[in-house]
Structure 1
Amino acid sequence: MTQAELRTDGARPAVRLERELVDPPAVVWRAITEREQLRAWFPCDVDVAGGVWEVGAAIAFRFGEEMSDMTLTGEVFVVDEPKVLVFSWGEERLRFELAPHGSGTHLVLIDELPADAAARNAAGWDECLDRLAGLEPGDWKARFDTYAATFEPLVGPQSGPPTA
């Protein structure tokens, strides 16, 4: 696990996370774009209209009963296979960058978000990216507490997990 970085140099705050993955970019691309593979690591079901990641495609993000069957919507902004994928996730914007790293992939995830969601999302994405890397997720609460202590002086109070 690597520590998420809080970026405050853009129009909105963003958390930036990195992982070194053993699979090459083409394989990782499928893991971030194929619905069945996303279910293994992404925090909700991802349904792209027409099943094709293309600029302008609508996305539905469906959470289960633990989140009162909440659904967020999004839109695809950039598809540059197998290098860059950018889409909105509710009011956030996610950017996945993939680059070859030896026989594997260097993955960068940037989540532009509301300032009070930085610690919550950094902890959550740490868990998700651990799953993507085939690792057992760590302790979300401990990660959240660490990120909240680090991020609060920079962007203000941090919200905990969403309440259903």
Structure 2
Amino acid sequence: MTDAQLITDGARPAVRLERQLPDPPKVVWQAITQREQLKSWFPCDVIVDGGVWQVGAAITFRFPSDVIDMTLSGEVLAVDEPNLLSFTWGEETLRFELTEHEGGTRLVLVDELPPGAAARNAAGWDECLDRLVGVTPAPDAWKSRFAVYSAAFESALGPQEGPPADYKG
């Protein structure tokens, strides 16, 4: 687990996670923008209107029905290939920053979100980014991560919400 950092100096709270990947930014860019590659690590199917990541493009996020019956919508906010991708994800804003570092890529994910979702999302993104770098999370890893983040974030943000009521995972 790589500890998520809580950011509280903006208009909304955010969690920041960082990972080192051995591949150059151009390769990592494909992993965060190509639908088939996203399926291996992102929590849902990502469908960009017209198949092109461009500012203003609509995005549909379909979660697997065996996990939760939910579809979110979003919009591409910023694209600077292969350095920056930002988009809305339901009521959240995700920002992926890629920088060349030690022959590979430093990936920084910042998730701007509602206060009560910080621990849940930090734990979830930890697992997703682990999968992106090729690490398979333990079956109950999310629960222990959520407990750690809840304890760490509650004093700054208030009570932390677990999975949605209709979550089947």
Q: TM-score, normalised by structure 1?
A: 0.98
Q: List alignment gaps of at least 5 residues for structure 2.
A: none
**Aligned-residue offset at 1:64:** 1.3
Q: Partner residue of 1:40? A: 40
Q: Find 2:148's aligned residue among 138, 146, 149.
A: 146
- Please give the residue correspondences for 1:3-14 in structure 2 after superposition, counting only pairs within 5 Å: 3-14=3-14
Moved over 4 A (4+): none
Q: Partner residue of 2:129? A: 129
What is the letter of the counterpart of residue 124 of structure 1?
A: G
Contact 1:63 1:71 in 2 (8 A): yes
- TM-align CA RMSD: 0.8
Tell me the number of residue pairs that the alignment of Structure 1 and Structure 2 aligns.
164
**Aligned-residue offset at 1:68:** 4.0
What is the letter of the counterpart of residue 105 of structure 1?
A: T
* 116-125 vs 154-163, which moves further: 154-163
Q: Find 2:160's aligned residue among 147, 153, 158.
A: 158
Identity level (%): 69
What is the letter of the counterpart of residue 120 of structure 1?
A: R
- Please give the residue correspondences for 1:6-85 in structure 2 after superposition, counting only pairs within 5 Å: 6-85=6-85
3-state SS of the aligned residue for 2:66?
helix
Q: TM-score, normalised by structure 2?
A: 0.95
Q: List alignment gaps of at least 5 residues for structure 1.
A: none
- Please give the residue correspondences for 1:106-121 in structure 2 after superposition, counting only pairs within 5 Å: 106-121=106-121
**Aligned-residue offset at 1:67:** 4.1
**Aligned-residue offset at 1:163:** 2.1
Give me the whole-angstrom Cα distance separating, in 1, the residues matched to 2:104 and 2:123. 24
Contact 1:67 1:163 in 2 (8 A): no
Give me the whole-angstrom Cα distance separating, in 2, the residues matched to 1:56 and 1:136. 34
Contact 1:6 1:151 in 2 (8 A): yes
Give me the whole-angstrom Cα distance separating, in 2, the residues matched to 1:129 and 1:163. 24
